Amino acid sequence: MQQDPNKKTVLDPFGTSIIADYERLYKEFGIEPFKPFLSKVPNPSLYMRRGVVFGHRDFKRILNAMKKHEEFAVLSGIKPSGEFHLGTLMTAKEIIYFQQRGAQTFYCIADIESYEDNKVPFEKSEKIAVDNVADLLALGLDPKHAYIYRQSKESHVKDLAIVFGRAATLATMKAIYGERNIGLYLAALIQAGDILLPQLEEFGGPKPTVIPVGVDQDPHIRFTRDLAQIFYKKYGFILPSSTYHKLMKGLDGSPKMSKRLMNYFTLHDKPEVIAQRISNAFTGGRATIKEQRELGGVPEICPVYEVCMFHFVEDDEEIIKVYNDCKTGKLLCGEHKKQTIDIVTKFIKEHQRKKKQFIDKAKEILNVE
């Protein structure tokens, strides 16, 4: 539903990146709204506080484990087909959040998926993976208390895929993934193996596990939960829990970040390039300065605001002020872009400096020369 941009009352500073059809996700697919949990989570993450994490499955199990200091695990990962961008950054931060709250931590480099889905040869994804892991460490993941692995080198996930294959009907696979080559279906089974890996005896047996992902990944989660149920007798799996974050818009205002449109930046880009991209970004501004002073901007549709709200303005008061100043016409787009470029490039420079120091460690973790 289009908000009325003329309404100057503060609506919802965290209401950007609206998924058209939340109600449908909740009703048809059984994703539960996250909001009712918020007050119960001790030290909720920025994403939780701001409604970026908006849905979940069986999160109560994780909350209980956190509260009672019982064993639980977090797993997510990256498809090593390119540099860390703001999407993969979200997952990384979510994992780090749960790691810092005591989760047994798993980070999967989905190199089989990048091979089957994107035709990235393993020799190439190996190099990308080193880079991705260095990013992850620079962001603060503690490698001493995490299992970081490549699918292609992890025999347990491959063996789980073989076990699960017997229960994966062609109809299910086609419904989720469309008509694809067998390799892609195999990659999906291996991903189910990833999600259930923390529950194998070799990793301490069945336990609550949370999988933080973008909401577009829910079909994988549902598929894996079905498999967990089918193979309960053999493994004693607890159905994996999940949290869902919203997907970011492109800097051009289009609904998705896209390699083809080059409407985003990565943590690897030069600060000048990032500054340029933000400068050129679409905003929620008005046609003229006069109009904007009078009517205020529309942060709800503004990707620059979103970049700040999702990632770079950590203080809630501060982001609410940005929102209000935009809505009341006090803060114009040019100025806000300048502020944003300052914050982002400062972060990027610092991140790139740290990351360099983690390359060797990343190679060691992945056992790469």
Look up residue 99 and give its amino acid.
Q
Beta bridge partners of 105: 74, 146
Q: Does 159 bind a copy of itself (CB under 8 A)?
A: yes
Options 73, 103, 116, 284; binder of a copy of itself; rule CB under 8 A: 116
Q: By CB under 8 A, is residue 173 in contact with a copy of itself? A: yes
- Dist. CA 32–CA 54, nearest whole Å: 9
- Residue 330, interface with a copy of itself (CB under 8 A)? no
We find the least distance from the C-beta atom of residue 151 to a copy of itself, in angstroms, to be 9
From 48-56, 151-159, 256-264, 294-302, give the range in contact with a copy of itself by CB under 8 A.
Answer: 151-159
Q: Which of 184, 200, 247, 359 binds a copy of itself (CB under 8 A)?
A: 184
> Measuring CA to CA, which residue among 355, 270, 267 is closest to residue 307?
267
**Closer CB to a copy of itself, residue 121 or residue 255?**
121
- Residues recorded for the chain: 369
Structural contact between residues 340 and 303, judged by C-beta atoms closer than 8 angstroms: no
Q: Does 233 bind a copy of itself (CB under 8 A)?
A: no
Check binding of 229 to a copy of itself (CB under 8 A): no
* 112 binds a copy of itself per the rule CB under 8 A: yes
User: What number of other Cβ atoms are within 10 A of residue 295's Cβ?
Assistant: 16
Q: 67, 119, 127, 256: which one contacts a copy of itself (CB under 8 A)?
A: 119
- Among candidate residues 28, 122, 60, 132, the one with its CA nearest the CA of residue 89: 132
Q: What is the spatial distance between Cα 79 and Cα 318, in angstroms, rounded to a whole number?
A: 34
Quote the CA–CA distance of 229 and 56 in Å, as a whole number: 18
Dihedrals phi, psi of 302, to nearest 5 degrees: -100, 115
Query: What does the DSSP 8-state code read for residue 310?
Result: I
Separation CA 19–CA 4 (nearest Å): 17
Kindly state whether residue 115 participates in binding a copy of itself, applying the rule CB under 8 A.
yes
Q: Which of 60, 85, 158, 354 binds a copy of itself (CB under 8 A)?
A: 158
Question: How many chain residues touch a copy of itself (CB under 8 A)?
Answer: 29
Q: 204: which residues sit within 8 A by CB, 6+ positions away?
A: 71, 104, 198
Beta carbon nearer to a copy of itself, 89 or 157? 157
Residue pair 48/81 in contact by the 8 Å Cβ criterion: no
Residue whose CB is less far from a copy of itself, 151 or 292: 151
Nearest-angstrom CA–CA distance, 111 and 121: 9
Report if residue 10 touches a copy of itself, rule: CB under 8 A: no
In sequence order, the β-bridge partners of residue 15 are: none
Among residues 182, 202, 233, 315, which is the contact residue for a copy of itself, using CB under 8 A? 182
Closer residue to a copy of itself, CB minimum distance, 83 or 226: 226
| Least separation in angstroms between CB 155 and a copy of itself | 6
Q: Does 179 bind a copy of itself (CB under 8 A)?
A: yes
Q: Which is nearer to a copy of itself, 103 or 108 (CB)?
A: 108
Shortest distance, CB of residue 83 to a copy of itself, whole angstroms? 23
The gap from C-alpha 15 to its chain's centroid, in whole angstroms, comes to 18
Decide: is 306 part of the binding site for a copy of itself (CB under 8 A).
no
Minimum distance from residue 168 beta carbon to a copy of itself (Å): 4
Q: Using CB under 8 A, which of 152, 209, 224, 243 touches a copy of itself? A: 152
Using DSSP's 3-state secondary structure scheme, residue 215 falls into: helix
Q: To 10 degrees, what angle do helices 182-196 and 111-118 make? A: 160
For a copy of itself, which residue of 60, 101, 156, 180 counts as binding (CB under 8 A)?
A: 180
Q: Token pair of 133, please?
A: 């892991």
164 scored as a contact of a copy of itself (CB under 8 A)? yes
116, two tokens? 């089957």
From 33-41, 66-74, 186-194, 356-364, span contacting a copy of itself (CB under 8 A): 186-194
Q: Which residues bind a copy of itself (CB under 8 A)?
A: 112, 115-116, 119, 152, 155, 158-159, 161-170, 173, 179-187, 189
